[in-house]
Structure 1
Amino acid sequence: MKDFVLLISKTPEDRTFVERAAQIAGIPVRVVDSIESAGKVFQAGEIPQAVFLDLPEERSYREFDQLVNAQSRQFQEALLSDRLHFLISQNIDECPYLIAGPYAGNILKRSRALEHGGEHYGRILQGTLSQRGPELLGTEFKNRGGVTREFVLGRTIEKQSAIEKVRDLFVEHGFLGRVAEVIATAADELLMNAMFDAPVDGAGHQIYSKVDRSTDLQLVGRHAVKMVVGFDGAYGAVSVVDSFGSLERTKLLKHVLKLYKDDTYHLGTEVAGAGIGLASVFQLGGSLFFFSEQRKKTEVIAFFKRAETFREYRGHFRFLTMQFR
């Protein structure tokens, strides 16, 4: 079997979720219930396109790490290229080994409705496997009967007007007012980051690190910022793209873990391209997709599930996914 997704888990709900995601992505699934069984797959020289795994404690993580280190360099490099997707039930701060380890990147938070998240994550998986970047708010939303709205900002002072339009659009598409406020905050942080934090010079130093955030700047050329809002009936999303590609995985993960420990939910302006405070989106029920092509572009997408109540919204499956090139 040339291309396949591997699931390492004993949990039936995980299997239902991954099988649906893989079906959407158009790739078969192989399921094993232990790291030992996964070792037999690896030793046969087969490299999965993606690995979903349940490592509920550090001991199992170390066991998996030893298994990977016993494989060829080609195999190790392949798995380190964003192919691992960790399924967790606890909060991120309760499994810091997933953040600090060499395989960190994609974390999926289980919920009571995990099996229903398979179709949604399948489209994320499809985008990552295709090596074409996310592009999840354009053609794909429209192909599913969804709609998109694009905003191109020419000046930083246009941000507030754009945020208000985003909030109103989500309310118009059936999202709770309370959720729409969370989404508006996410849009604000995404735009602020793309305007002031992501721009770097040739040496990688932030250009506007000491500039007041209320400053009116022209957004021309490489500094232009695009925001796209999309709806497909079940989900809404906000995407913001900058043309600097300054997001760094190590710093982002470090701050994700820190914010959970400090309970502040702020990533900090020193994390270029990361989106200030976006972790609050994840904490409150949204999902995040970070895509960065070094020195070329960074796209951050925040996804939100439409729900009848705020409790239902917060209880939905969510993910924190990263792709770096």
Structure 2
Amino acid sequence: MVQPYLILISNFRSDEIFAEAAANAAGLKFIHCRSLALGVAAIASSENIGAIFVDAKTEVEFIAFQDALLKNDRIPLSKVRPHLLHYISDLPLEDFSFLSRSPFFGSLLKREYPGDSQEMGQFYGRTLVSIHRKGPTALKNFLNASANIQSVTLTNSLQQKGIAAEVLKVGALLGSSPRMSARAALAAEETLMNAIFDAPVDAKGQRIHQKLSRTTKFELADKSRVEFEIGFDRLRMGMRITDHYGSLPRSTLLKHISRGTTSDTAILDAANAGAGLGLAAAYQTSASLFFRCQAGVRTDVLLFFPKAASVRGLKAEFRFFASDFHHSES
């Protein structure tokens, strides 16, 4: 079997270091193309593509790439499915609202490699592996092998309060500032509430608990139970929140995640956004986000926060937004 390729289309040396490290971590063969024409030719001629990284500084570069794919009759859509496409940009995610309207939207990476672009590439390489891996998503697959990971299954609707306190403890162990840890705790609590109150649906697809007050206490039994994992290595904290309904629409996620907010402490309102979107301050600060939804089966939301002594420099941190939506194979 031909080893899958990671094709990079970029002139940035930092992108080359980052992407090659990601390719090595994911077990992909690295191909570097310094022009769009060469990149599209490589896509057309490659039989087994594992990932495509594209320099998309602005909307102009993204549209040029999209048009080049559409105009090349040697590139079937199966070669450029969204989970294969990874755009590296200098712009924040909220400035890429046009991506949600494109069939070629995949993952968005912020071009910030403070300290060690190779380490950032290795981290994202583990994300690539997880995107392609079938079955449940585990936090251990994203963090370093030395990571300390804890897990709990929530069995009542107000249990997230204790989870938030645990996130603060982990942030302190990691060495992050209290303010940074508080943002991570808020993100965990909001995402858990969405898994508890917004994800459950009945046989007709109607949301069961969405109109209830978030202070309502009830048991979470069987399918309604929510999984939570938290862990950290020397560089970052990671969390996984999983519901067993798989009711998060990709169109809803893209619409609201690319809309942007007016404050770095604003919350994407769950009642308006639908199940799974309570990301609180995580969205506008430093969190990397990975959503995997197997329709009707489960939704995994993973959040990663870098170790930070203060919030001030977080806008210069590498981060990504990635997603993988697919239907049940049953």
Alignment TM-score > 0.5, same fold: yes
Q: Decide whether the 8 Å contact of 1:109 with 1:319 is kept in 2.
A: yes
> Match of 1:305?
306
Q: Decide whether the 8 Å contact of 2:7 with 2:42 is kept in 1.
A: no
Identify the match of residue 127 of structure 1 among 112, 126, 130. 130
What does residue range 1-325 of structure 1 map to in structure 2 within 5 Å?
Answer: 2-71=3-72, 75-113=76-114, 115=117, 116-132=119-135, 134-135=137-138, 137-138=139-140, 141=143, 144-260=145-261, 264-276=266-278, 278=279, 280-325=281-326
Q: Structure 1 residues 226, 105: CA separation in 2 closer, same or farther (over 3 Å shift)?
A: same
Q: TM-score w.r.t. structure 1 length?
A: 0.91
**CA–CA distance in 1 between the matches of 2:159 and 2:208?**
20
Residue-pair matches, total? 322
Deviation at 1:140, TM superposition (A): 6.2
Deviation at 1:102, TM superposition (A): 1.2
Structural RMSD (CA)? 2.3
Question: Aligned partner of 1:163: which letter?
Answer: A
**CA–CA distance in 2 between the matches of 1:47 and 1:279?**
38
Deviation at 1:24, TM superposition (A): 0.9
Q: Decide whether the 8 Å contact of 1:167 with 1:180 is kept in 2.
A: yes
**CA–CA distance in 1 between the matches of 2:65 and 2:304?**
30
Q: Deviations over 1:182-214 (max 9, x none)?
A: 111011011100100111112222111221111
Q: TM-score w.r.t. structure 2 length?
A: 0.90
Instruction: Give 3-state SS (helix, strand or coil) of 1:218's partner.
Output: coil
Q: Decide whether the 8 Å contact of 2:130 with 2:141 is kept in 1.
A: no
Moved over 6 A (4+): none
**CA–CA distance in 2 between the matches of 1:253 and 1:20?**
28
Q: Decide whether the 8 Å contact of 2:241 with 2:302 is kept in 1.
A: yes
Question: Aligned partner of 2:38: which letter?
Answer: S
**CA–CA distance in 1 between the matches of 2:140 and 2:112?**
28
Deviation at 1:74, TM superposition (A): 7.6
Q: Decide whether the 8 Å contact of 2:106 with 2:323 is kept in 1.
A: yes
Q: Deviations over 1:264-291 (max 9, x none)?
A: 4414324333232x16313111111111
Instruction: Give 3-state SS (helix, strand or coil) of 1:323's partner.
Output: strand
Instruction: Give 3-state SS (helix, strand or coil) of 2:241's partner.
Output: strand
Deviation at 1:139, TM superposition (A): 6.1
Give structure 1 stretches of 5+ with no counterpart.
none
**CA–CA distance in 2 between the matches of 1:251 and 1:73?**
32
Deviation at 1:257, TM superposition (A): 2.2
Instruction: Give 3-state SS (helix, strand or coil) of 1:239's partner.
Output: strand
Give structure 2 stretches of 5+ with no counterpart.
none
Q: Decide whether the 8 Å contact of 1:241 with 1:297 is kept in 2.
A: yes
**CA–CA distance in 1 between the matches of 2:58 and 2:142?**
37
**CA–CA distance in 2 between the matches of 1:83 and 1:140?**
18
